[in-house]
């Protein structure tokens, strides 16, 4: 049997503008080109529908259920590669491995040591051994791979000499490779790299300002009360941790959000935090409670951002080159499995994650302008006003904009994301009314 060069992944050569096939007419002489154009067209449309209307990655299942030193089990599941291949498998237990001879000539595996795994012992496999012969099996990474290639038997196949055409294969293989090859596997995988929130999420601290407990003993003088607020606000490098965490989030999302476009500049953030710390060190007794509340506001906005980060992955137009013929199922070791595994990256058509990304963007802008527009008015000349607001049990965005913000357009616009969506961003309550709609009582 003669093997001819494998096909490129279909979508790499798809050009929708020139994707033409013929409608047949009576007495037309049909050639293989006529028929293949129809097959290619509808297969490409089917693949495009999966990728752009559903998503790519591991849809469900395909979990490593159990593993020991001599076997592992993969559960049933479904996934979609970025070339539109649908991967579906039943639960299987793997006991053997052999040298992998890739008929698909997948460039990703060049220069990598990759083994194929099998459910039972087979005859004639090159270099087959039980998995128990591999040292530290838990250090291996499991891959689901669609081996895509074509094969031409020629005119005579042993039964007749009629040309039966070229066979197109799409064989599902399960492979393993050492986890040291993980970086090589994801080097060109922009989808994994762009959505790898876990690489930094656990390093973002959960920050809270210590609660102030006032009692008869620590409230005997205004100076005692002042010191209580000041010490809580400056405790344990809270401001430095908040500054670093915010900058980390900006750095990790800059490939998805153009922060400069919205006036958010990292250099200014560092300056704002430096000035805030200096201000807290020199603050007066009469304004300390405002500054304590201001830091609480910043922490609440930060926590909202942090909580949403795990829910903002989606792909509108996935690149074919990310993982065209494979899915990473993770390492056999549970400690590193989730970090080395493809998620499902849904189309925004079937998920609300694009809206969550917009909310994260709005919150990051809000945080920046909270810092920039923080200014306590001159108390002696400030007018006394009563501004209705919801209680502290409610989210900051549902409460009135506090007295110590200047409420210029950028902060007002991003104060409440739902109002921004509904084109009611100025429908806020606050002490400063210049940029607010006239809805005050």
End-to-end Cα spacing for the chain = 86
d(CA 344, CA 42) in angstroms, rounded, equals: 25
Residue 10 has pLDDT above 60, yes or no: no
Q: What is the DSSP letter of 124?
A: S
For the stretch 181-222, pLDDT in tens is: 999 999 999 999 989 888 889 889 999 888 878 778 777 777
Helix (H, G, I), strand (E, B) or coil at 318: coil
Tokens standing for 408? 């210029």
How high does pLDDT run on average in the chain? 86
> Which residues have CB under 8 Å from 343's CB, separation 6+?
57, 58, 195, 313
> Which residues have CB under 8 Å from 240's CB, separation 6+?
273
Residue 1 has pLDDT above 50, yes or no: no
> Which residues have CB under 8 Å from 18's CB, separation 6+?
none
For the stretch 399-438, pLDDT in tens is: 999 989 998 889 999 999 999 999 998 998 888 888 888 6
Q: What is the pTM of this model?
A: 0.82
d(CA 83, CA 100) in angstroms, rounded, equals: 22
For the stretch 19-39, pLDDT in tens is: 677 788 888 888 888 888 888
Helix (H, G, I), strand (E, B) or coil at 411: helix
Residue 295 · residue 239 · CB < 8 Å: yes
- What is the 3-class SS of 379-397, one letter each residue? CCCCCCCCCCCCCCCCCHH
């Amino acid at each position: 049997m003669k093997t001819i060069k494998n096909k490129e992944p279909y979508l790499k050569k798809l050009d929708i503008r020139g994707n033409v096939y013929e409608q047949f007419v009576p007495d037309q002489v049909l050639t293989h080109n006529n028929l293949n154009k129809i097959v290619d067209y509808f297969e490409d449309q089917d693949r495009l529908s999966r990728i752009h209307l559903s998503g790519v990655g591991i849809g469900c299942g395909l979990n490593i259920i159990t593993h020991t030193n001599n076997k592992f089990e993969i559960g049933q599941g479904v996934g979609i590669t970025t070339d539109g291949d649908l991967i579906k498998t039943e639960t299987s237990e793997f006991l053997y491995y052999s040298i992998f001879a890739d008929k698909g000539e997948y460039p990703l595996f060049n220069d990598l040591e990759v083994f194929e795994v099998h459910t039972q012992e087979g005859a004639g496999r090159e270099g087959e051994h039980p998995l128990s012969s591999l040292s530290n099996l838990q250090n291996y990474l499991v891959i689901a791979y669609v081996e895509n290639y074509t094969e031409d038997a020629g005119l005579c196949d042993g039964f007749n000499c009629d040309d039966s055409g070229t066979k197109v294969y799409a064989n599902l293989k399960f492979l393993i490779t050492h986890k040291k090859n993980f970086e090589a596997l994801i080097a060109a995988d922009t989808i994994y790299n762009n959505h790898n929130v876990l690489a930094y999420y656990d390093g973002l601290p959960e920050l809270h300002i210590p609660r102030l407990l006032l009692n008869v003993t620590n409230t005997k003088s205004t100076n005692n009360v002042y010191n209580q607020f000041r010490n809580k606000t400056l405790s344990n490098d809270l401001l430095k941790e908040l500054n670093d965490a915010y900058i980390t989030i900006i750095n990790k999302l800059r490939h998805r959000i153009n922060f400069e476009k919205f006036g958010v500049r990292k250099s200014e953030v560092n300056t704002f935090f430096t000035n805030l710390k200096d201000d807290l060190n020199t603050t007066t007794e009469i304004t300390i409670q405002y500054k304590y509340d201001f830091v609480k506001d910043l922490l609440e906005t930060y926590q909202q951002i942090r909580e949403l980060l795990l829910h903002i992955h989606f792909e509108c137009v996935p690149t074919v080159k990310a993982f065209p013929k494979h899915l990473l199922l993770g390492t056999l070791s549970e400690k590193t499995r989730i970090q080395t595994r493809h998620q499902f990256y849904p189309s925004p058509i079937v998920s609300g994650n694009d809206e969550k990304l917009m909310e994260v963007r709005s919150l990051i802008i809000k945080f920046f302008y909270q810092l920039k527009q923080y200014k306590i008015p001159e108390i002696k000349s400030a007018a006394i006003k009563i501004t209705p607001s919801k209680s502290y049990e409610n989210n900051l965005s549902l409460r009135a904009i506090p007295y110590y913000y200047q409420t210029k357009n950028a902060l007002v616009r991003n104060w409440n994301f739902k109002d921004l969506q509904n084109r009611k961003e100025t429908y806020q309550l606050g002490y400063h009314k210049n940029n607010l709609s006239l809805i005050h009582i």
